[in-house]
Amino acid sequence: MPRKLPDIPPEVARAFVVDMRAFFAENNGSSHKADEIAARQAWALSQYLGPQEKPIRIQDVKQMFLRLRDEF
C-alpha cells in the first residue's frame, strides 16, 4: 500500500513541481542530472516525515514524478 505523504508547505510543493518538470526535461529521467533532481526532492520530502516512517528513496521520488507527470 502506498504511503501517504505528510502535509508540506506550499513553497516546498512548488519546488517539487519545478523539479519534476526539470526531471522530465533531462532525457526522460535517465541521466545523472535527473538522479540529482530526484535525490534533492527525496531529501526535501524526508524533512517532513515522522520518526516512525520509512525514509523516502530516490526511486520513490521517481515513481511520484511518473505518476504525477500528466497532472501538471
Q: Tell me the pLDDT tens digit for each residue of 5-22.
A: 568 899 999 999 999 999
Query: Rounded to an integer, what distance in angstroms lies between the CA atom of residue 9 and that of residue 1?
Result: 24
The per-residue pLDDT for 18 is 95
The length of the chain in residues reads: 72
- Is the model's pLDDT at 39 over the cut of 70? yes
For residue 2, the model assigns a pLDDT of 60
Q: How many domains would you assign to the chain?
A: 1
Report if pTM > 0.75: yes
Residue 5 belongs to a domain = no
Highest mean pLDDT among 23-27, 36-40, 50-54: 36-40
Residue 5 per-residue DSSP state: P
The domain of 63 spans 20-71
